[in-house]
Homo-oligomer: A and B are copies of this chain.
Amino acid sequence: MLKGFTVPRSPLGTAALTPPPPWHYAGNVLAVEFWNDPDLSADILPRGVKLDSRCRGRSVALFADCQFTANSDEHLDPARYQCREFFVFLDATWQGSRIAWCPYAYADNDAAIMRGWVEGYPKKLGAVHQTRTFAATSAASAPLANKSRFAGCVSAHGQLLAEARVILRERADHLVGLLDRPVVARRYFPQLCAGVHHKAVVDELVRCTMNNLLIANLWVGEGELIFPETHGEELDMLGPIKVGRGFRFSFSCSISDCTILADLTV
């Protein structure tokens, strides 16, 4: 009789960390493509996932400033259902198909972290910020225009993990090299019983299904990106040896499904 898509399960089902799918997102994204050392980034892949041999080490760092809703006007509870997130995606392959692999992700909100784990994103708590644009022009508002600059940053537990800059150059119609391959992630839930701490009870490689992806106001330009050295994190091992284009756009999408590619517990 208890209800809720996640814990805590409760009589009405409204206490759960997140309502059930479909999950709808709208937001702004700042992203930078970069190349890490493939000798290091190959080590971050699970069994069966390989670096994409056509672009070994190519990756994307993505800052998202999001609003969420499910079926109950959750966007009218902005303290709970807005989130700012950071993702790294590696160009990879699964059984010969091009995919994007997500080794690290951070979000500033518990509901977003929970949804991440259910989708396979390994989210931790982080503070994520990005420069914004506003409808009223001002020195304080970065315009969507040639030479306009945007910055993004993420920190966790008081340490700066990544910092990005993008200079816009031109408007574009299509995202190329970003969000154009399916994301593969890993749903993972450990055991606590003595003797089996090393074996997860859930360890699934999944392909995320993103529906109704809309991109608006896409601008492409030059990127800058650093991953400072930190302790208690390993993001810096994926640090850029070369940085490429920068991107800034608005997006929306919906999520309510995934495909299980492999059961890694066996």
Contact = CB atoms under 8 A, between A and B. Distances in A.
Interface stretch (A89-97, A171-179, A227-235): A227-235
Number of copies of this kind of chain in the complex: 4
Given A110-B124, A131-B75, A136-B26, A194 B257 contact: yes
A73 B104 CA distance: 24
A151 B77 contact: yes
Given A77-B151, A137-B252, A149-B76, A15 B259 contact: no
A125 interface: yes
Nearest to A30: B78
A121 to B, nearest CB: 8
B122 A8 contact: yes
A182 B194 CA distance: 17
Interface of A: 1-2, 5-12, 14-15, 17, 20-21, 24-28, 40, 43-46, 66-69, 73, 75-80, 82, 103-105, 109-110, 113, 117-119, 122-125, 127, 129-132, 134-142, 149-155, 157-160, 165, 186-190, 192-194, 197-198, 201-202, 206, 212, 214-217, 231-235, 237, 250-254, 256-260
Contact of A216 (B135, B189, B198, B201): B135
Given A7-B122, A14-B232, A27-B134, 12 more contacts: A15-B235, A20-B198, A24-B139, A66-B140, A67-B141, A75-B132, A76-B151, A77-B232, A154-B158, A189-B189, A192-B258, A193-B260
Contacts of A12: 234
B258 A188 contact: no
Contacts of A104: 8, 15
A192 B21 contact: yes
Contacts of A27: 134
A20 B197 contact: yes
Contacts of A134: 26-28, 67, 216, 250, 252
A153 B151 CA distance: 26
A214 B131 CA distance: 20
